[in-house]
């Protein structure tokens, strides 16, 4: 923790002061996984102020990410980028296996879904479709990408043919 406190002090010393607006400059929100190998801003070349970034286990559309995306749209977001990634720990595992592991850790089976994911491209397409179909999410465009954690490359799964 001490290391992080010192990193933050150095960060603040070089911090470009000046008030950035709280609405996303690129009118963009990114929905992606919490995975340790994703540096979302760097992989997309986003600057401070550009986009809302929503992250959970898997990069899934849940009630909470619907809530966050809806709030984002109220702040001016018009486009959403969904990014799932290779070697995700929410894949190649079944819901039952996740529940068993959770029960071993906590002593009981959680009353909520843990969100094991299907095939990678399929989960991107499904998440993009869910956003498109949600009555709470009004956006002009939703894009879907797969991120390769071993190369740093994004592969466009939904939106490739469009401008």
Nearest to 120 by CA among 152, 95, 149, 91: 91
Nearest to 75 by CA among 109, 94, 49: 49
Q: Is 50 in the site for a copy of itself (CB under 8 A)?
A: yes
CB of 119 to a copy of itself, least distance (A): 18
Among 24, 80, 82, 123, binds a copy of itself (CB under 8 A): 24
Question: Contacts with a copy of itself in 72-101 (CB under 8 A)?
Answer: 72-75, 79, 81, 87-90, 98, 101
# residues near a copy of itself by CB under 8 A: 89
C-alpha distance from residue 151 to each of 37, 85, 144, 146 (Å): 11, 11, 18, 12
CB of 131 to a copy of itself, least distance (A): 13
Q: Is 52 in the site for a copy of itself (CB under 8 A)?
A: yes
Provide φ and ψ at 17, rounded to 5°. Answer: -65, 165
Give the Cα separation of 66 and 77 in Å (integer).
13
Among 80, 82, 84, 113, binds a copy of itself (CB under 8 A): 113
Query: Tokens 């600057």 identify what position?
Result: 47
Q: Is 55 in the site for a copy of itself (CB under 8 A)?
A: yes
Residue 46 is classified by DSSP as: P
CB 53 within 8 A of CB 26: no
Strand partners, 31: 54, 82
Question: Contacts with a copy of itself in 126-155 (CB under 8 A)?
Answer: 135-136, 138, 143, 149-154
Among 80, 82, 114, 120, binds a copy of itself (CB under 8 A): 114
Pick between residue 113 and residue 119 the one whose CB is nearest to a copy of itself.
113
């Amino acid at each position: 923790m001490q290391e992080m406190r010192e990193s933050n002090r150095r960060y603040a010393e070089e911090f470009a002061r000046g008030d950035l607006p709280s609405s996303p400059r690129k009118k963009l929100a990114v929905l992606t996984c919490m995975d340790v190998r994703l540096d979302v801003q760097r992989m997309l070349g986003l600057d401070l102020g550009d986009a809302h970034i929503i992250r959970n286990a898997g990069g899934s559309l849940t009630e909470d990410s619907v809530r966050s995306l809806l709030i984002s749209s109220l702040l001016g977001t018009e486009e959403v980028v969904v990014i799932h990634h290779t070697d995700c720990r929410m894949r190649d595992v079944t819901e039952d296996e996740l529940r068993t592991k959770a029960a071993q850790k906590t002593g009981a089976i959680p009353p909520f879904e843990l969100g094991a994911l299907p095939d990678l491209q399929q989960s991107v397409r499904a998440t993009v479709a869910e956003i498109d179909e949600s009555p709470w999410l009004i956006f002009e465009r939703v894009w879907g990408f797969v991120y390769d954690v071993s190369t740093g490359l994004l592969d466009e799964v939904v939106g490739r043919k469009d401008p």
